[in-house]
Amino acid sequence: MTLTIDHLDCSLGKRQILHDVSGLRASPGEITALIGPNGSGKSTLLKAIAGIEAASGRIRLGERQLDALSLEQRSQCLYYLLQDTSTQAALSVFEAVLLARRTQVAEPAATALSAVERALTSLELDPLAERELVTLSGGQRQRVAIAQAIVRRPRLLMLDEPTSALDLHHQLQVLDYLRRLARREEIVIVLAIHDLNLAARFADHLWVVKEGRHIVSGMPEQVLTPERLRDIYAIEAHVEWPIDAPPRVIPLSALHRLGG
Amino acid sequence: MKATTRLPHIAKPESTAARYLARQRRQRGLIVLTALAVLASLLADVATGPGAYALPDVLKALVAPSEVSRVLQIVVWEIRLPVALMAIIVGASLAVAGAEMQTLLDNPLADPFTLGISSAASFGAALAIVLDFGLLPVAGTLLLTGNAFLLAMFASLAIWALSRLRGVSIQTMVLMGIAIMFFFNALLGILQYVASAESLQQLMFWSLGSLDKASWGKLGLAGLALLVTIPIFVRARSRLTALRLGDVQAKAMGIDVGRLRLRMLLCCALLSATAVAFVGTIGFIGLVGPHIARLLVGEDQRVFLPMSALTGALILSLTSILSKTLIPGILLPIGILTALIGLPFFVSLILRSRRELWR
């Protein structure tokens, strides 16, 4: 069930954010990382695919033409997990994950409870099941948000900067989990991410957007070159692809200095 | 136990689902207890009044009216019961409206009072009392009720209409509600300024809130508003709970947030306008009822909605008893008491609670 996007335009109010974004492909079983500078339209692109932001263009997931589906219909096969998972809701972790399931399917209570239990266990959230969301740390909330996503068994899972609130240990843990999830369930995972080292290490495929336009996409080795990084981020960077160690992207300097 | 026998795979006491089911049983137990307290309060309210009738006689009048004196029959069935039931229905209506307004507008201070709906109703009442002007072609007490209802609906619909504008945030909607409150308070001030001493006293009495004009007819209409709206809220319970995770996350779950907010606000408008039109401005119930419910059972609407209705009903019913007994022989305006008793109770609850209500 490959995700394909062509001729996607999206405006927020009078401001056009996405300009004819075309040629994006993401395969099942793989992680596709969406990278680009701040304000390049990464979040808007993910929200447009999810139907949260109105957009025009062609979005297909396998045989399904997503752009012809309503928000509710799209939510049956995809899920978007936003960057900020903070909430003041007086709900327990179990209630929050069960809610994610209940808003998608009407099913016997036993089936829903089993599904929630499996999701919590797979993310090692069992000890936190009765805790209220407001009492959780940023990292714990992020794991709950991922549990809310996987309990809905989406075919396409989009995550907006899923590692931004996590410490190094949890960053590696969550991305490793997502990679195994993509392989095991054969789902399409697209994640917007700023950390190029993590993108290089965990993504099978990269999409690059800048100023609302699709610049390039391909394997990390093809995309993450010093020349491209200069074009995309206006930085000088050193990139290494060792055979026996994870790839390394080392930013050296910004081409433009603040204050001249 | 029933649930665990149906779910053998999660019968292990340590499993998360079993713990969730235990939590759910506790929540439902609290709801049943509160419902029983409401029932007890209703009976106590009916048994309380200037005529000193013994509780057994009052109970007999309720279950077998033909076996008691005609006077007691009238006192119980025509005077006390409508008032006692009105306290419960209005308390439940205001608390449910407050709970859903807080959910829909993501604001802990949203309720019919703070959003200007009560102020609009007061202005409507003042039009009838001071100028004898009716917005509806009716006369007598209905003139006042009709005005109050129409203006309360108008204020609610103004907030509702604003929310239809593209790009309007929920914070703007709350601010609009506050602006509506000040606007109608100013209009009310003008009418108070020109009012005669007699009208002013009447207006003052109305605006302090009172249950003693309750009748079976008014009760039926107030009950109808509750009967119409509650099933709508119940059907939307999961979607309403999801709103507490924020608009974007709710949308990601496939919820048409805009449409949901509009429909539910309309139901809140109907509930609060009906309640305020019949009993005047009774503040605080819409604020304190949902907060107590939230502390007791959390915000899953499956338990939060009934608990809010019950806590609202219980508070107003207890206040109704207090209004009759605090100073023997004098019926205090109930609106004064809800604020006087509710406020310290509310503050102590917040201070004692380890859970932050709303940061």
Pick from B20, B167, B355: which is nearest to A94 by CB?
Answer: B20
- B84 found inside a domain: no
Query: Taking Cα atoms as reference points, which of B251, B254, B319 lies closest to residue B285?
Result: B319
CATH for B205: 1.10.3470.10
The interface residues of chain A toward chain B in range 3-32, judged by CB-CB distance below 8 A, are 13
pLDDT tens per residue across span B279-305: 888 888 998 899 999 999 999 999 999
Are the beta carbons of A74 and B254 separated by less than 8 Å?
yes
The pLDDT assigned to B235 comes to: 96
Within 8 A of A92 by CB-CB distance, chain B residues are 20, 23, 298
In chain B, DSSP assigns E strands to none
C-beta separation of B142 from B150 below 8 A: no
pLDDT tens per residue across span A24-52: 999 999 999 999 999 999 999 999 999 99
Are the beta carbons of B16 and A126 separated by less than 8 Å?
yes
Pick from B6, B19, B298: which is nearest to A110 by CB?
Answer: B6
Residues contacting residue B119 through CB under 8 Å, at least 6 positions apart? B155, B180, B181, B183, B184, B185, B188, B281
> How many structural domains comprise chain B?
1
How far out from the chain centre does Cα A213 lie?
18
- B26 found inside a domain: no
List chain A domain ranges. 3-77+154-254, 89-153
The pLDDT assigned to B52 comes to: 77
Instruction: Find the mean pLDDT for residues A156-163.
Output: 94
ipTM of predicted assembly, 2 dp: 0.91
**Which residue is associated with the tokens 């794991």?**
A143
Instruction: Find the mean pLDDT for residues A241-253.
Output: 87
User: What's the rounded Cα separation, in Å, for the pair B80 and B77?
Assistant: 6
The CATH number of A3-77+154-254 is: 3.40.50.300
- B6 found inside a domain: no
Please give the residue of chain A at the shortest CA–CA distance from B242: A99
Query: Is A168's Cβ below 8 Å from some Cβ in B?
Result: no
HEC states along chain A? Answer: CCEEEEEEEEEECCEEEEEEECCEEECCCCEEEEECCCCCCHHHHHHHHHCCCCEEEEEEECCEEHHHCCHHHHCCCEEEECCCCCCCCCCEHHHHHHHHHHCCCCCCHHHHHHHHHHHHHHCCCHHHCCCEHHHCCHHHHHHHHHHHHHCCCCCEEEEECCCCCCCHHHHHHHHHHHHHHHHHHCCEEEEECCCHHHHHHHCCEEEEEECCEEEEEECHHHHCCHHHHHHHHCEEEEEECCCCCCCEEEEEEECCCCCC
Pick from B3, B9, B251: which is nearest to A52 by CB?
Answer: B251
- B10 found inside a domain: no
Domain span at residue B186?
Answer: 92-352
Q: How far is B229 from chain A (nearest CA, A)?
A: 21
- B213 found inside a domain: yes
- B247 found inside a domain: yes
Are the beta carbons of B241 and A132 separated by less than 8 Å?
no
The pLDDT assigned to B167 comes to: 66
Q: Per-residue pLDDT for B4 more than 50? A: no
C-beta separation of A45 from A34 below 8 A: yes
- Identify the residue with better confidence: A132 or B166: A132
pLDDT tens per residue across span B141-187: 678 888 888 998 888 888 877 776 766 777 888 888 888 999 999 99
User: For the CA atoms of B324, B149, B263, B261, what is the dihedral angle to 10 degrees?
Assistant: -70
Are the beta carbons of A75 and B253 separated by less than 8 Å?
yes
- Identify the residue with better confidence: A139 or B100: B100
- B339 found inside a domain: yes
Are the beta carbons of A99 and B6 separated by less than 8 Å?
no
- B276 found inside a domain: yes
Are the beta carbons of B254 and A120 separated by less than 8 Å?
no
Q: How far is A259 from chain B (nearest CA, A)?
A: 35
Q: Per-residue pLDDT for B1 more than 70? A: no
Are the beta carbons of B294 and A47 separated by less than 8 Å?
no
| Coil, helix or strand at residue B241 | helix
Query: Taking Cα atoms as reference points, which of B69, B75, B11, B27 lies closest to residue B47?
Result: B75
Q: Quick one: chain B helix, strand, coil %, rounded to 5?
A: 75, 0, 25
Please give the residue of chain A at the shortest CA–CA distance from B166: A13
Q: Is the pTM of this model over 0.90?
A: no
User: Which of B237, B249, B259, B291 to mutate to test binding with chain A, by most A CBs within 10 Å of its CB?
Assistant: B249
Residues contacting residue A82 through CB under 8 Å, at least 6 positions apart? A43, A160, B246, B248, B249, B252
Q: Which two tokens stand for residue A185?
A: 């369930």
